[in-house]
Amino acid sequence: MSWLWAIIVGLVLGLIAKAILPGKQQIPLWLTVVFGMIGSVLGNAVATWIGVNDTKGIDWIRHLLQLIGAVVVVGLGDMVWASIKGDRRRA
């Protein structure tokens, strides 16, 4: 069940990250999910590092760090994907 939850969180964070980033991202949906999952893991690592990974109530700071991680990973991943595909123009 934890893999299913990770996929769902990755999808949601990846889609939100794509909505936050300016322009149109060229990455496919499956890569958006993967990048969202990676961003979530990075956000959790930073939250653990600064000591806010487990608080009473809703972990707003951890969720914000996960979203920031997803935005960074989706943004960088989109640039790499565009350079691999050879399509450098942005919509």
Whether residue 72 has pLDDT greater than 60: yes
The pTM (predicted TM-score) of the whole model is 0.85
- pLDDT tens readout for residues 19-60: 999 988 889 999 999 999 999 999 989 999 998 877 788 888
* Higher per-residue confidence, 79 vs 86: 79
Task: Please determine, for residue 88, whether its predicted confidence score (pLDDT) is greater than 60.
Answer: no
Burial 52-67 (b: 16+ CB within 10 A, else e): ebeeeeebebbbebbb
Using alpha carbons, select from 62, 79, 89, 69 the residue that is nearest to residue 20: 69
